[in-house]
A and B are shown apart, each in its own frame.
Chain A
Amino acid sequence: AQKITQTQPGMFVQEKEAVTLDCTYDTSDPSYGLFWYKQPSSGEMIFLIYQGSYDQQNATEGRYSLNFQKARKSANLVISASQLGDSAMYFCAMREGSNTGNQFYFGTGTSLTVIP
């Protein structure tokens, strides 16, 4: 079974609107971390936001917020007030266990295009 599933290969959003990128995960480990990365056309992976499995509140970082629904095993990324520079690939990832050296499992990514 896939550890991370991103079901939206491509998404379009109007500039200044909000957009939600879906991510579901599968793990039996009670301790895990969920991450979102942005990959622009340059290829660099840019860390956006992190949610720990024991965190009580949803993570937020500026215009990014993570809608963490533990029972549904979903960790959707919400980008508010979209900007043209947000156009990129977005990857959801999970690290199982509490060891920061554990490997990450990545989803297949969502290509986001912001329309002016």
Chain B
Amino acid sequence: GAVVSQHPSRVICKSGTSVKIECRSLDFQATTMFWYRQFPKQSLMLMATSNEGSKATYEQGVEKDKFLINHASLTLSTLTVTSAHPEDSSFYICSAIYHTQYFGPGTRLTVL
């Protein structure tokens, strides 16, 4: 199946710093990528839909100024958590569309 990578897989940062997470489709081009957040033992929560060449579409309740999404190419979308706080600690998963939805391996963010 199609491969989606995420980098980094784990990141620990201090409160107030910004963290960038990359999502890449390795063997296909994806005009649409999704960003999810998952708290422990809970389901995936869709944060935003990332469209190549245009602004991301954010779900209700997700702060667009805090979670900056850039989809600059057909194989790369980035999520930047700005001024991270401990409550932003979570598991972030991206996915890319290629006939169906393929998920990246996730990024575990811990904000101290």
B54 close to A (CB within 8 Å) = no
Given the complex, which residues of A lie within 8 Å of B1, measured CB to CB? 47
Contact (Cβ within 8 A) B42 A104: no
Query: Do A43 and B91 touch across chains, with their CB atoms under 8 A apart?
Result: yes
Stretch at the interface among B14-22, B67-75, B80-88, B101-109: B101-109
Tell me, yes or no, whether A91 is within 8 Å of chain B by CB.
yes
CB distance from A4 to the nearest CB of B (A): 9
> Closest CB-CB distance, B48 to chain A, in whole Å?
10
Q: A43-B105, A44-B103 are in contact. Are A109 and B93 (CB under 8 A)?
A: no
Q: With a CB–CB cut-off of 8 A, which chain A residues contact B95? A: 45
- Whether the Cβ atoms of A100 and B99 lie closer than 8 Å is yes
B43 interfacial by beta-carbon distance below 8 Å: yes
When C-beta atoms are compared, the residue in chain A nearest to B44 turns out to be: A106
B60 to chain A: which residues have CB within 8 Å? Answer: none
A101-B93 contact, Cβ under 8 Å, with A47-B1, A106-B44, A108-B43: no
Smallest CB gap from A91: residue in B: B43
B residues apposed to A, CB below 8 Å: 1, 31-32, 34, 38, 41-44, 46, 49, 91, 93, 95, 97, 99-103, 105-106, 108
A residues engaging B (CB < 8 A)? Answer: 33, 35, 37, 42-45, 47, 50, 91, 95, 100-101, 103-104, 106-109, 111
